[in-house]
Structure 1
C-alpha cells in the first residue's frame, strides 16, 4: 500500500486462482450465505449477505464484471491490506489490471464495476470497514510486475505473465513495451491442473483432491505415492514444454532475447522446465504485479498533481 495526500493507493491483482495485494494472497473462491456460516475465518459481511472467501478457485470467465464475485473479492483484498496497517476507515484509490489484449476493450466497464459504490461499509473477519473509493487506475497485466526494474532491460526481452487462466505475452525492446507485439492466450495454470486431475483419474480410477495436485505443481513434490507423483509430474513437464512451444510461435528465440516469467506459472517452469537459467529470469514474488500496480498508479497521481 502506498499513500498520497492521505489517500491509500492499493493494488489488487484480480487473478483467476488467487487475488493478490502487495502483501496478501487469497484463493478466489467465493461462497454466499444468507445466514452466518457455522465456521469462522475469511467471512465478509456486505449487503445483508455473508461471503466465505478463499475456499477453492473461481472458474475462468472472459469478463470479470459478469457477476459480483470480483467486487466482493476486491472489498476483501482492500480490507486485508488495510488491516495490516491497523486502518478501518480510509479514502482508497484502487490500482488494478486486465489481460494485455483485453484492457483497451474492457477498461471502462471494469473501472465502473470496481467503483460501483463510492462509499462502502462492510465487515470482514469481525472488523468493520468504512471505505470511500476516490479513483481507479487500470493497467495491462504482467507489465507492472517488471516496470520498477526496466532499467535492467537491454536489447530485446520477452515477458510471459502466466496466471491461472491466461498467459500474457509482451515484447520489450530497449526498456519500452511494444504494444503491437502483445498477445493474450487462454493457456493458464488451471489447464495444467485439469490435465493432471484427468490423468490421475484415467490411470488409477481415483479422483485426487486439487490441493494435493497444487502442492506438486507449486513445489515439485507432495506427500503422495510415487506412481501418483510421477503421473502429475509427467503432465506438468508436458505443460511447460507447451508453454515454450507457444512462446516460439511468437518468435521467442533464447539466443536472441531474454525471457522474463511472472505469475503463478513461474513455479511450474522452475520445477519442470528445461531452459538456460542464464537467459531466463523467473520472478517468484506472486505479489509483484500488485506492487507494480501501486508503483505505476502512485507515479501517475504524482504527475497529475
Structure 2
C-alpha cells in the first residue's frame, strides 16, 4: 500500500486528509474514541498551535508522531471507503518530501527516521489498534513529485520551459524544467513562505491597531470568511499580502527567470491562499500561469 505524506511546516497532508502541524503530549488519559494516538505508553493529540519552524524535522519525535496521525487518518478513510481492515498488519510504502535546499543533506537521515529498520510499529488511534511496517520509504524533492503527477495531466513534458513555484509554510520551493528535464541551476528554496507573511501581518496589525491576530484570523480575512473584522483592518491585511506576492515574484527576476518565457505553475497551500493576490500582481508580468487547486 502506498501512502504519501506531506510533512509541512504549517499542515500535514495525505491524499485524503489535512490537519495542522501541531502535536502535544497529554497530561491526563483521554476519553474513549478521542482524536488521540497512543504510542509507546504515551498519548498524543494534534493541536492548532503548529510546531515552530524546524529546518531538521528529525531532531525529535514530533514529526514522526504527526506522520502516524496522517497514516492513521488515511487508513481510517480507506477503511470506510475501501473496506480496509485495520486489524491486519499494513505493509506501507511511505512517500515523503524535502525542500530542494535540504534534499541532498537530509535525504538519507529523513528516510531512516521513518523507516525504523523495517520494524513493526504498533499504535492506537481513537482507541483502535494499528500495526504497520514501512516496507520502503522514498524521499522526493518537494514540488518535483507534484510535477510528475501534473506532467501527464497537462502534458508538461513537451513544454519548452516550466517554472514550478511551491509556496509552503516556511519555504518557497522552485524549479525550472526544460522539456521535462530539471535545470539544476534553478532548483532551490527561498525562506519566504506563508509563515513569514503571517508574522509580518501580525506585527503590523499589533503596532497600528493593538489587535492580536492569529494565523486563522489572517486566513479568514484573506479568504473573506466571516464579517467580524473591521474594514480598515481587512484592507491593511490585503495590502500586506499584495506586497508579499510582489516581493516574491520580484525575486525570480533577480534569479534570472523571466515569466515571459516560461509556463509558471503555482503549487501548495500557500499558493491557494494567495491565489487572488497572485492574479492581481501577475497583471504586470507576461507569460502563462496557473494556480493548482485554486478557484479564481
- TM score, norm. by length of structure 2: 0.88
Q: Give 1:49 deviation, angstroms.
A: 1.1
More helix by share: 2
Tell me if structure 1 keeps the 8 A contact 2:156–2:179. no
Tell me if structure 1 keeps the 8 A contact 2:263–2:289. yes
Q: Give 1:116 deviation, angstroms.
A: 2.0
Q: In structure 1, what is the equivalent of residue 194 of structure 2?
A: 189
Distance 1:116 1:35 in 2: 28
Distance 1:179 1:122 in 2: 41
SS at 1:216's partner residue?
A: helix
Tell me if structure 2 keeps the 8 A contact 1:170–1:181. yes
Q: Give 1:35 deviation, angstroms.
A: 2.5
Aligned residues: 277
Tell me if structure 2 keeps the 8 A contact 1:34–1:48. no
Q: Taking CA–CA contacts closer than 8 Å with sequence separation of 6 or more, which of the two structures ends up with the larger relative contact order?
A: 1
Change (3 A) 1:40 1:16: farther
Deviates more, 1:183-192 or 1:45-54: 45-54
Distance 1:245 1:221 in 2: 29
SS at 2:218's partner residue?
A: helix
Distance 1:156 1:235 in 2: 31
- Out of 1, 18, 26, which is 2:19 matched to? 26
Tell me if structure 2 keeps the 8 A contact 1:220–1:272. no
Tell me if structure 1 keeps the 8 A contact 2:33–2:127. no
Mapped pair 1:108 → 2:111: no
Q: Give 1:37 deviation, angstroms.
A: 4.2
Q: Give 1:222 deviation, angstroms.
A: 4.0
Change (3 A) 1:198 1:222: farther
Q: In structure 2, what is the equivalent of residue 56 of structure 1?
A: 49
Tell me if structure 1 keeps the 8 A contact 2:260–2:287. no
Distance 1:235 1:105 in 2: 34
- For structure 1, the 5+ residue unaligned runs are 1-7, 286-305
Distance 1:53 1:39 in 2: 16
Q: In structure 2, what is the equivalent of residue 75 of structure 1?
A: 68
Deviates more, 1:193-202 or 1:267-276: 267-276
Tell me if structure 2 keeps the 8 A contact 1:42–1:52. yes
- 1:13-65 per-position Cα deviation (integer Å, ceiling 9, x unaligned): 11000010011101111111242247974311111111111422121111010
- TM score, norm. by length of structure 1: 0.85
Distance 1:39 1:251 in 2: 57
Q: Give 1:196 deviation, angstroms.
A: 0.9
- 1:116-172 per-position Cα deviation (integer Å, ceiling 9, x unaligned): 262111111222111111110110001111212322341111111110010111011
SS at 2:92's partner residue?
A: strand
SS at 2:140's partner residue?
A: strand
Q: Give 1:101 deviation, angstroms.
A: 2.3
What is the CA RMSD across the aligned residues, in angstroms?
Answer: 1.9
Distance 1:159 1:222 in 2: 32
Q: In structure 1, what is the equivalent of residue 164 of structure 2?
A: 159
- Out of 214, 221, 232, which is 1:209 matched to? 214
